[in-house]
Copies of this chain bind each other. A is one copy, B any other.
């Protein structure tokens, strides 16, 4: 049995019809929440016609179909460095919420203004798992990793230009973090970070 908290549809490379068909089938099966990632507004429009309570988060490009009452446990903290990282940060946060986790968001805390981050120490310490979303030089993961003794999941983003090479600079920086307790997912993979954070957060429950 896989996770059970939510079924996930990855929309990239699927037609609107394919997504609708999968969503309807999952919806008919009853069960938990349904989450569709990388969904365009067109895909959402098609889903909405058949599933009227489907919601859409345009920044995160996710469709959320909430089913039943879900108990949420906590606490997952999502940190992001800059405004342009928000879509990925929200994909991570929404994924974790749909899978039954309390999520705290602290955005726009890039390392160039380190005091903004340091003023959030209470939230940093309260979290069980921390997701750090950052593009460009990806330095936030190392600073956060050094401040906490909780698992940090780092998400490099493709935000940047020139020698960021589509997120490669942030990815390499995060993999080479001098702070212990940091692991990394694919560039822009907010979903993957939210999913693993949920698995970790639920460990204490079983």
Contact = CB atoms under 8 A, between A and B. Distances in A.
Interface string A170-206: 1111111111111111111101110110011101111
Interface in A147-182: 147, 149-151, 153, 156, 158-182
A151 B196 contact: yes
A193 B175 CA distance: 12
Given A114-B143, A142-B112, A189-B162, A172 B175 contact: no
A18 B193 CA distance: 27
A67 interface: no
Interface string A123-148: 00000110000001111011101110
A77 to B, nearest CB: 14
Contacts of A191: 180
Contact of A172 (B128, B129, B163): B163
Contact of A176 (B8, B153, B164, B183): B164
A103 interface: no
A173 B139 contact: yes
A166 to B, nearest CB: 8
Report how many copies the assembly holds: 8
B111 A179 contact: yes
Given A137-B173, A176-B186, A181 B167 contact: no
Contact of A199 (B2, B149, B171, B185): B149
A83 interface: yes
A136 B170 CA distance: 12
A149 B6 CA distance: 13
Q: Which of A149, A162, A203 has the most CB of B within 10 A?
A: A162
Contacts of A139: 111, 137-139, 142-143, 173, 178
B111 A173 contact: no
A119 interface: no
A167 B162 contact: yes
Contact of A169 (B143, B175, B180): B175
